[in-house]
Amino acid sequence: MPEGSQLWRNRDFTVFWASQTLSVAGDSFALIAVPLLVLHVTGSVAQMGLLTGLASAASVAAGVFAGVLVDRLDRRRLLIWCDVARMALYGIVPVAWAFGPKVWLLYVVLPLSEAIGMVFQVAYVTAVRGLVDADRITEANGRLGATAAAAGVGGPLLAGVVAGWFGPTAAVAINAASFGVSALGVLLIRLRRQPAPSSSTEEARGPWHELLAGARFLWRQPVLRALTVLLSFFIFLTLGLTDVLIYHLKHDLGQSDGAVGVVLAVAALGTVAGSLLVGPVRRRLGFGASWIGAIAVAGLAIVGLGVSTGLPVAAGTAAAYLACVSVAGICSMSLRQQVTPDHLLGRVTSAFWTIHYALGPAGAAVLTWGAQRHGVAVVCLLAGATCLLIAVAAFFTPIRQQNPELSGATG
């Protein structure tokens, strides 16, 4: 295909694509290893949820300033330094654990890493726009998402094997190394020079005006405003879902660490499928039907996960859930990239993630506490039903439009 071949000929995008795919594979190791470290030492899913909540809170706090940093500093250098810092932080864990379990260290490393990761993710979104033409953004996002998810299939599987054979700390060490790979990949690329923003606007009005510029842009755009509000509730309901899934597999179904890795690897196929399908689905159904349908099916999948009694059903429903999250997420991100001026893209991305993740830490704590106190089935039934209500609510907002990027509703 001409579009695909053009991306293949884009050397900088290809290098970035490959290095980030390997980095995501490494992230899969931490996704499994960190909860297992907590569970092995404490045996408490509530502790897992608390750690997830604190890490998410740190990410939200960093998001307040991440956009300004990304829009004002050299984006390539910022990406590299974020990777180096996270490599060092995660590298401390296996070294310290060699002298005995130190759960308290995770409460330091994970929040700091997530805060730095927020800065990286905001810069990552702007980097895609600096690597490809505007008409290739959705394709590039889908390709990055699909291959990253494909790496996520093997990553959890290998992480489960490594954690089972050598312990979760070995999996954390591999995650640390993956950040080094990411840093090297970014070092080898060049981003297109971005047009300088006017110094007479945000900067001239003061730092707080500049800081809030992204939030103001979101508020002025009806579709982006509605997406931000509804996704805030969606994140509250789902941020702790991975912890609940791991707890369900270990506590309710009595599965091994390796089995956990297998289930998460199979579930990651859903993200691959969603990333590959989002382009054709959006072209055929339009933005509104794609986003609303994905949220609705995600809610049904959460309910199915809660009542699963075996590995095949748990893996299948988790895959369906991740496929829908991928479709909704790529639709949302691509729309923001399409309608946001480049000099504001960092702050708009940062504001969007900060606002819609703001309820996430509390949600993760509530979800995991509820799973331990009342059972996974009850929690998943309530969370899934509420996701269906979010999809219904979206029908009464500008989200329902087929092509909001063309209608003027987004600016």
Q: What pLDDT sits at residue 391?
A: 95
Residue 294 has pLDDT above 90, yes or no: yes
Tracing tokens 């989200």 back to the chain, one arrives at: 399
Q: What pLDDT sits at residue 333?
A: 84
Q: What pLDDT sits at residue 260?
A: 80
Q: What pLDDT sits at residue 341?
A: 81
Q: What pLDDT sits at residue 3?
A: 44
Q: What pLDDT sits at residue 230?
A: 94
The whole-number average pLDDT for the span 243-254 is 82
Q: What pLDDT sits at residue 200?
A: 41
The proportion of the chain whose per-residue pLDDT surpasses 90, expressed as a percent, equals 15
Distance CA 267, CA 245 (A): 11
Task: Write out the two tokens for 141.
Answer: 């996002």
Reference 80, options 199, 215, 180; nearest CA is 180
pLDDT-wise least confident of 184-193, 291-300, 397-406: 184-193
Mean pLDDT rounded to a whole number for the chain: 80
Task: Write out the two tokens for 318.
Answer: 């988790």
**This prediction's pTM:** 0.70
Q: pLDDT per residue over 331-359, tens digit each?
A: 888 888 878 887 788 888 878 877 877 77
Q: pLDDT per residue over 168-195, tens digit each?
A: 777 788 888 888 888 888 888 887 665 5
Q: pLDDT per residue over 107-135, tens digit each?
A: 888 889 888 988 888 888 888 777 877 66
Helix, strand and coil percent figures for the chain, each rounded to 5: 85, 0, 15
Tell me which of 256 and 274 has the higher pLDDT. Answer: 274
The whole-number average pLDDT for the span 77-92 is 90
Distance CA 309, CA 207 (A): 54
Q: What pLDDT sits at residue 254?
A: 78
Q: Tell me the three state secondary structure of residue 194.
A: coil
Q: pLDDT-derived band of residue 157, with 50, 70 and 90 as boundaries?
A: low
Q: What pLDDT sits at residue 148?
A: 73
Residue 196 has pLDDT above 60, yes or no: no
Tell me which of 148 and 402 has the higher pLDDT. Answer: 402
The proportion of the chain whose per-residue pLDDT surpasses 70, expressed as a percent, equals 86
Range 100-124 burial, b when 16+ CB lie within 10 A, else e: eebeeebbebbbbbbbbbbbbbbbb
Q: Do 33 and 51 meet the contact criterion of CB atoms below 8 Å apart?
A: no
The whole-number average pLDDT for the span 53-65 is 79
Q: What pLDDT sits at residue 324?
A: 94
The Cβ of residue 28 has, within 10 Å, a number of other Cβ atoms equal to 29
Residue 310's Cβ-count burial label (10 Å; 0-12, 13-18, 19+) is exposed
